[in-house]
Amino acid sequence: MDIDLLSRIIKELITDHDQVGLLGLGTFVAEVVPASFSDKGYTINPPYRRLSFHPSISESDLLVDFYAESNHVSAEASRVYISEFLAELKQVLMQRKTVVFPGLGRLRATRENNFFFVPDEDLDIYPDGFGLQPVSMKYLHSGTNEVDIKLSYAEAMQGLVDRQRANEDAGLP
């Protein structure tokens, strides 16, 4: 196993699950951040999933089971292999203070070897938000005509709910 493979596995698993544990290190946790207004209230930013790392949480079976199934090995063999790799990764992290997970971000260590995660800015782990873009609430100019768009937060959120219901009715994820 190498860091590229581990990153791809984590990204695949975290897209469908809320937690992916790394034996002996901690757990990546994804949580949905609701739609929000920008600082000045002129833009509605769509919802997204934020990825963080919690060294104190230790969910570990998902990664082990996925690796075992993908490589047609026993869960115990998978656990041993992953544990050895992650023990080496932990040593590198404690010495170099940063490990880059390509396509995800950087796992970092403080001087006291407390671990934290800095996600890549373009990380996308929220399939339900595919295609959603920020919506500007400023005036739209069309030639000499001005159109004032006034949309409450509740109306904007209702649009997202309606879209999700339409997808469910159509049998789409």
- Reported confidence tier of residue 142, pLDDT bands at 50, 70, 90: very low
Once rounded to an integer, what is the mean pLDDT over residues 38-52? Answer: 88
Average pLDDT, the chain: 86
Q: Residue 78: is its pLDDT beyond 90? A: yes
Could you tell me which of 80, 82, 96, 18 has the C-alpha nearest to residue 54? Answer: 18
State the DSSP code for 147: E
3-state secondary structure 13-64: HHHHCCEEEECCCEEEEEEEECCEECCCCCEEECCEEEEEEECCCCCCHHHH
DSSP conformation letters of 67-101 = HHHHHT--HHHHHHHHHHHHHHHHHHHHHHSEEEE
- Reported confidence tier of residue 115, pLDDT bands at 50, 70, 90: very high
Length of the chain: 173
Which pair of tokens denotes residue 134? 């920020």
Q: Residue 140: is its pLDDT beyond 70? A: no
Lowest-pLDDT range of 17-31, 47-61, 99-113: 47-61
- Reported confidence tier of residue 80, pLDDT bands at 50, 70, 90: very high
- Reported confidence tier of residue 74, pLDDT bands at 50, 70, 90: very high
Res 40: pLDDT: 79
Res 129: pLDDT: 87
- Letter string b/e over residues 25-63, b meaning 16 or more CB atoms within 10 A of that residue's CB: bbbbbbeeeebeeeeeeeebebebbebebbbeeebbebb
Once rounded to an integer, what is the mean pLDDT over residues 138-164? Answer: 62
Res 141: pLDDT: 47
Domain limits, the chain: 3-127
Res 173: pLDDT: 62
The whole-model pTM stands at 0.74
